[in-house]
Amino acid sequence: MAAGEGVATRKFDGTCCKVAGGWLFKRYDAKLGRTPPEGFVPAQEPDATTGHWPGWLPVGEGAEDQWYREAFTGTEADGTYELCGPKVQGNPDHFDRHVLVPHGKEELEDAPRTFAGLKTYLEDKDIEGIVWHHPDGRMVKIKRRDFFAPAKQKAYA
């Protein structure tokens, strides 16, 4: 991606979820030494170094999943999404209601590819970061906070 490959898209600040076969799933990371809960669908093999094992859990009927259910219309195409809204991550993107934003939805055609260019670009943008999507499925993300110490970060609108 450093060679200029891939499409730059806006990274929204929410929580990852997935629609598959008309069902909504939330992201779950089975930490080292923990058995994943019932219904866990692995996204990959456990990481050999950290033991982290990312995957998916079906969204349930409990209070902890209410914002997922509020955002899910049942008409979403299979794919990954960012759950954003008033009760998610402090709602830095200022959504009026809970929504599922498809990953890769908003292209950033003017995103630079150099370290200095990215730093300047993100300093002037009110976004969480950038995700590059390569045609072969690889992705690379960089967050605004990767460039700026917490004391120097500005709150993004």
**Which is nearest to 67 in space by CA: 43, 94, 100?**
100
Q: What is the pLDDT of residue 150?
A: 59
Cβ neighbours around 76 below 10 Å, total: 16
Full pLDDT tens readout for the chain, 157 residues: 456 789 999 999 999 999 999 999 999 999 988 899 999 999 999 999 999 999 999 999 999 999 999 999 999 999 999 999 999 999 999 999 999 999 999 999 999 999 999 999 999 888 999 999 999 988 999 999 998 865 444 555 4
Please report the sign of the dihedral spanned by the C-alpha atoms of residue 149, residue 139, residue 42, residue 99. Answer: positive
- Domain ranges within the chain, ordered by starting residue: 7-152
